[in-house]
């Protein structure tokens, strides 16, 4: 199958060349590094705290510094990859992430570690959307595109669990610093791959300009949004700081949308997110992100605090979930999505994830892994493997190549914001349930405290199930039916309805 439009200027090599698949391997390594870094450091925190001597109150900033920089700069990073070229942006992101990781691994003070984590987040915000944009513009043949997004989506979904496993191994067998140093080795391999396999397309037409006001508005909005939810997690929803930042986020987002409607060179053309299929895809990624972070957070708490698993045992417990996620991602993108489309597969995945979350509510202090923990984790893995690849592929399909980076950044932004919302909401709901349980079961004995913890986790799982139930209804209503939609050749580059398997190669203008 050949390309059908001369407007496609940076097409992937054609024929039987394996370059595309080596490009996928390179991009997958970079994506894995960014995604696992959201959880791999969590397990290292107690050891880092003991080594560097910072307080429990300060500990949260090791996580928050990364998420603030990453979340607030994603759209800027995606647009920069459009402006300076994806290969150059990809390599800069890899080098910067490696340097920041080395700095964090060698940190001799709390301030240095926080600064390194913020730098990681900033370069991750350039790297993550660029990786997805490289994939989007490299794989244009529908069958290959589906396979590539199956791999990429599996990594996006499983990276958190891989981080738990890797973090447990590195912390127990080596040193907490290796949770950061490991990125240097991954980055070096990815840089070599990028130099050899990632192509540098020839730019056609005048160089586009950066929308500075739009960048400042949306970066401020995303910073305020992530910080507001992070503050709610630590200081509660009654904190004026929480609502102050969330209100500022709302005001800045409205201002950003109004500016994008009149900007000569918009950072994020509104047609990208207002397309019905892409809007459904971004929303699905956000909801899946909220649910996934809840799974990792509370199942980890349960395994370590209630069942007294070691960090390595905890990480190993998630391995079957990763296996099911990878299996579902491949089956979904190669068989089910081309046949049924995202309108069927994404709601199906949401319902499966909801079922897995409800299953988790039955866990108690006497639960066994094989009978009570393994089945829901496998169900959740298959559900996420049905949601993520189809949503990510649909979210980037049919976008003009000059905006592929920022459209890809919206995927990462949705997942990051979803994770922030999910973590803050579920933590708050679980903490409230814990307090109420203890208050109604006096006197406070060790058994009551143990039961209260189990009750709080169960509350979080029920709410997580509600997230996925809402996602199932929303995605079923929003995704277009197969055969509805507009041509791939329209000037706006809007995606066709059959986003997973178009009848012809994706053509960008």
Q: What is the pLDDT of residues 301-354, one digit of tens each?
A: 888 888 888 877 887 888 898 889 888 888 887 888 888 888 898 999 999 999
Residue 93: the pLDDT is 92
In this model, does residue 295 exceed pLDDT 90?
no
- Identify the CA nearest to 77 among candidates 342, 410, 502, 469: 410
Q: Which residue has the higher pLDDT, 47 or 245?
A: 245
**Confidence band of 23 (pLDDT split at 50, 70, 90):** confident
In this model, does residue 485 exceed pLDDT 70?
no
Q: Could you read off the pLDDT of 300-314 as tens digits, one per residue? A: 888 888 888 887 788
With beta carbons less than 8 A apart as the criterion, state whether 496 and 487 touch.
Answer: yes
Residue 387 neighbours by CB under 8 Å, 6+ apart: 157, 284, 285, 288, 345, 346, 349, 350, 353, 471
Cα angle at 240 between 239 and 243, to 5 degrees? 95
Residue 207: the pLDDT is 66
**Confidence band of 2 (pLDDT split at 50, 70, 90):** very low
With beta carbons less than 8 A apart as the criterion, state whether 155 and 28 touch.
Answer: yes
Q: What is the mean pLDDT of the chain?
A: 80
Q: Which residue has the higher pLDDT, 234 or 215?
A: 215
Compute the distance between CA of residue 230 and CA of residue 236 in angstroms, rounded to an integer.
9
In this model, does residue 94 exceed pLDDT 80?
yes
**Confidence band of 200 (pLDDT split at 50, 70, 90):** low
Residue 356: the pLDDT is 94
Domains and CATH numbers, the chain: 19-200+267-478 (1.20.1250.20), 211-264 (no CATH)
Residue 470: the pLDDT is 94
Residue 206: the pLDDT is 61
Mean pLDDT of 180-204: 83
Residue 41: the pLDDT is 78
DSSP state, residue 190: H
In this model, does residue 423 exceed pLDDT 70?
yes
| DSSP bridge partners of 485 | 496
In this model, does residue 255 exceed pLDDT 90?
yes
In this model, does residue 13 exceed pLDDT 60?
no
Overall size of the chain counted in residues:
509
With beta carbons less than 8 A apart as the criterion, state whether 30 and 126 touch.
Answer: no
Residue 207 neighbours by CB under 8 Å, 6+ apart: 83
Compute the distance between CA of residue 312 and CA of residue 300 in angstroms, rounded to an integer.
11
In this model, does residue 96 exceed pLDDT 90?
yes
Q: Give Cα 271 to chain centroid, integer Å.
A: 23
Q: Which residue has the higher pLDDT, 377 or 508?
A: 377
Mean pLDDT of 247-269: 88
- Identify the CA nearest to 181 among candidates 100, 95, 123: 100
C-alpha count within 13 angstroms, C-beta hemisphere, residue 251: 7
With beta carbons less than 8 A apart as the criterion, state whether 261 and 109 touch.
Answer: no
Q: Could you read off the pLDDT of 61-72 as tens digits, one per residue? A: 887 788 888 888
| DSSP bridge partners of 496 | 485
Quote the pTM value: 0.78
Compute the distance between CA of residue 231 and CA of residue 241 in angstroms, rounded to an integer.
7
Compute the distance between CA of residue 320 and CA of residue 237 in angstroms, rounded to an integer.
36
Mean pLDDT of 462-469: 93
Per-position DSSP letters for 32-101, written without gaps between them? HHHHHHHHHHHHHHHHHHHHHT--HHHHHHHHHHHHHHHHHHHHHHHHHHHHH-HHHHHHHHHHHHHHHH
Residue 120: the pLDDT is 92
**Cα dihedral 243, 291, 398, 81 sign:** positive
Please count the other Cβ atoms lying within 10 Å of the Cβ belonging to residue 304: 16
Q: Which residue has the higher pLDDT, 33 or 373?
A: 373
**Cα dihedral 488, 494, 495, 497 sign:** negative
**Confidence band of 15 (pLDDT split at 50, 70, 90):** very low
Q: Could you read off the pLDDT of 153-191 as tens digits, one per residue? A: 777 666 767 777 777 788 777 888 888 888 899 899 999
Percent of the chain at pLDDT exceeding 70: 87
Under DSSP, is residue 486 helix (H, G, I), strand (E, B) or coil? Answer: coil
């Amino acid at each position: 199958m050949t390309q059908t439009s001369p407007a496609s200027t940076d097409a992937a090599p054609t024929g039987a060349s394996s370059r595309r698949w080596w490009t996928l391997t390179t991009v997958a390594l970079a994506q894995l590094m960014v995604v696992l870094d959201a959880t791999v450091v969590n397990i290292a925190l107690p050891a880092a705290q003991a080594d560097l001597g910072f307080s429990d109150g300060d500990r949260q900033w090791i996580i928050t510094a990364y998420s603030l920089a990453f979340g607030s700069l994603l759209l800027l990073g995606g647009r920069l990859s459009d402006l300076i070229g994806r290969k150059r942006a990809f390599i800069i992101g890899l080098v910067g992430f490696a340097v920041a990781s080395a700095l964090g691994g060698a940190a001799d003070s709390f301030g240095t570690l926080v600064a390194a984590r913020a730098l990681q987040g900033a370069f991750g915000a350039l790297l993550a959307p660029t990786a997805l944009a490289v994939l989007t513009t490299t794989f244009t043949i529908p069958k290959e595109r589906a396979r590539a997004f199956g791999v990429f989506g599996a990594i996006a979904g499983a990276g958190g669990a891989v981080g738990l496993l890797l973090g447990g191994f590195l912390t127990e067998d080596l040193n907490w610093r290796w949770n950061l140093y490991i990125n240097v080795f991954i980055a070096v391999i990815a840089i070599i791959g990028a130099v050899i396999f990632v192509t540098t397309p020839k730019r056609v037409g005048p160089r586009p300009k950066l929308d500075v006001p739009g960048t400042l508005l949306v970066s401020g909005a995303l910073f305020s949004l992530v910080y507001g939810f992070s503050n709610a997690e630590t200081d509660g929803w009654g904190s004026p700081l929480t609502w102050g930042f969330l209100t500022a986020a709302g005001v800045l987002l409205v201002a950003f949308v109004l500016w994008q409607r009149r900007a000569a060179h918009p950072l994020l053309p509104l047609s990208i997110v207002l397309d019905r299929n892409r809007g459904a895809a971004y929303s699905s990624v956000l909801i899946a992100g909220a649910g996934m972070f809840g799974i990792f957070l509370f199942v980890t708490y349960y395994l370590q605090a209630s069942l007294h698993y070691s960090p390595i045992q905890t990480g190993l417990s998630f391995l079957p979930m990763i296996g099911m996620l990878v299996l579902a991602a491949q089956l979904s993108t190669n068989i089910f999505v081309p046949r049924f489309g995202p309108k069927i597969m994404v709601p199906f995945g949401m319902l499966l994830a909801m079922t897995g979350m409800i299953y988790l509510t039955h866990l108690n202090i006497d639960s066994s892994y094989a009978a009570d923990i393994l089945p829901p984790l496998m169900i959740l893995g298959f559900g996420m493997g049905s949601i993520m690849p189809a949503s990510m592929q649909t979210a980037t399909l049919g976008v003009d190549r000059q905006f592929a980076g920022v459209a890809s950044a919206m995927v990462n932004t949705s997942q990051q914001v979803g994770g922030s919302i999910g973590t803050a909401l579920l933590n708050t709901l679980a903490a409230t349930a814990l307090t109420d349980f203890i208050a109604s079961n006096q006197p406070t004995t060790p058994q009551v405290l143990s039961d209260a913890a189990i009750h709080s986790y169960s509350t979080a799982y029920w709410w997580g199930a509600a997230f996925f139930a809402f996602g199932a209804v929303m995605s079923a209503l929003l995704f277009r039916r197969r055969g509805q939609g507009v041509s791939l050749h329209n000037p706006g580059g809007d995606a066709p309805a059959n986003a997973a398997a178009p009848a012809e190669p994706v053509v960008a203008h």
